[in-house]
Amino acid sequence: MSPGTVIVGTGQSGFEVAAALRAGGYSEAITLIGDEPHLPYQRPPLSKDFVLDKSGLEQLELRPPVFYHNHHIAVIVGRRVVAIDRSDRRVCLSDGTQKHYEFLVLAVGARNRKLRVPGADLEGVAYLRSLDEAVALKTLLHKAERVVVVGGGFVGLEVASAAKTMGKSVTVIEMQHRLLSRVVAPEVSVFFETLHSAKGVNVVCGGSVCEILEESGKVDGVLLAQGAVLPADVVVVGIGVEPNTELASAAELAIGNGIAVDKCLRTSDDAIFAIGDCAEFPSRFAGGRVRLESVQNGVEQAACVASAIAGKARPYTSVPWLWTDQFDVRLQMAGLSIGFEQCLIQGDLSIGRFSAFYFKAGRLIAVDSMNRPVDHVHARRLLEADAVISLEQVRNPSFELRLCGR
């Protein structure tokens, strides 16, 4: 009898492999192993509704416990996989047990990058990636008056929005000269800075944290390199993530900016796949190899790997997309704007209803839609179809994305 498939990581990507395998009729054993103490849950609400108490633990679970029982998916939580023995096709767990596999899927995700300044370990310094971190942050925020957020990326801005909505005094410190600089054009950064400022968030770009200040063993403020001190009861750090590559690296799998996989998401060992935040894969949307940190990427890569395990390998070609909710706006992003050369805005930045069109070598490569969901849907369709849309077309005031490619 085959030992079946072992999936390492109980995040959304790992969960989706198990679910997709069973949905596709896979009849061998499936074992899902994760070091978090919870059944698989959704992360996106953690920095939004969950912090705001609009959703509870039950709404976060991807499936209730009975699902795993009914689908014969063995879930091992609260334990780490500490080694992979590739020659014997087995994994070793932190409790000394072992599991054999025919196929192994590494969905091991990424971890928060740590702020390395004096005071960074004080009580009152929080990160946000896991459910346990979100619970701890929520408790801290309820007691706090003054919140300093380090990092003006997705986590930082979503937490700033939630904290401001809770009535706190909030400052965001971003190291770069604009918000969300990793992912959006300067025009879109300006929109977010204006939005947050209008809601009363103090935004400091080009700021560098040198120390977290202490009072009676707890956070009391943040000292910036420029000399300013920002009073704080809570400091939330969202300065990016690092892929968890150590397990794969120790097993001598190829590593790039993540666990390196081919177009069908296989690592340098044919029996092992890697997906989600930890995997670096070839993408026509990136014009090279890329590692993406989004739910869409994890879910669709999971489906692709489930097909491969079922003997129907296919290249992973999905259009990348993601969204962020801050205050009353939703930004939806389709494609990858990495290396864009021009950005054209259509719509009205001042009222927050616009789309940003990104071009490289004269071709449309990505569209960010602010409160324009119809544009987002059509952008995904057109990018998927590799439709040719020129700068001239978008410059035309009567241009409508929904009418393209029809």
Does position 268 bind ligand NAI by CB under 6 A?
A: no
Angstrom distance (rounded) from CA 65 to CA 349: 45
Which of 42, 268, 294, 371 is close enough to bind ligand NAI by CB under 6 A? 294
- # residues contacting ligand NAI (CB under 6 A): 26
CB 183 within 8 A of CB 337: yes
Toward ligand NAI, which CB reaches closer, 4 or 44?
44
> Contact region for ligand NAI (CB under 6 A) — 60-68, 154-162, 222-230, 344-352?
154-162
Give the separation between CA 49 and CA 328, rounded to whole angstroms.
13
SS3 (DSSP) at 305: helix
* β-sheet with 288-290: strand ranges across: 255-256, 258-260, 279-283, 288-290
Q: How far is the CB of 331 from ligand NAI (least distance, A)?
A: 8
Q: How many CA atoms lie within 13 A of 197 on its CB side?
A: 10
Selected range binding ligand NAI among 17-25, 59-67, 151-159, 372-380, rule: CB under 6 A:
151-159
Half-sphere exposure of 362 (CA within 13 A, CB side): 2
Record the tokens describing residue 82, joined without a space.
């500490």
Chain position carrying tokens 């698989």: 40
Looking only at residues 238 through 267 of this chain, which bind ligand NAI when binding is defined by CB under 6 A?
Answer: 238-241
Q: C-beta of 263: minimal distance to ligand NAI in Å? A: 23
What is the C-alpha to C-alpha distance for residues 160 and 155, in angstroms, rounded to an integer? 8
Of 268 and 294, nearer to ligand NAI (C-beta) is 294
173 touches ligand NAI by CB under 6 A: yes
What does the block give as tokens for 355?
Answer: 């789309």
The contact pattern for ligand NAI, residues 174-213, with x = CB under 6 A and - = no contact, is xxx----xx--------------------------x----
Taking the complex as a whole, the smallest distance from the CB of residue 124 to ligand NAI amounts, in Å, to: 17
Cβ–Cβ < 8 Å for 322, 44? no
47 in contact with ligand NAI (CB under 6 A): yes
Which of 54-62, 149-157, 224-232, 398-406 is the region at the interface with ligand NAI (rule: CB under 6 A)? 149-157
Which tokens belong to 247? 């397990």
Which residues, 86 to 125, sit near ligand NAI by CB under 6 A? 115
Residue 162 identity (one-letter amino acid): A
Contact 278, 246 (CB under 8 A): no
Residues that bind ligand NAI (CB under 6 A): 47, 115, 150-156, 158, 173-176, 181-182, 209, 238-241, 293-294, 322-324
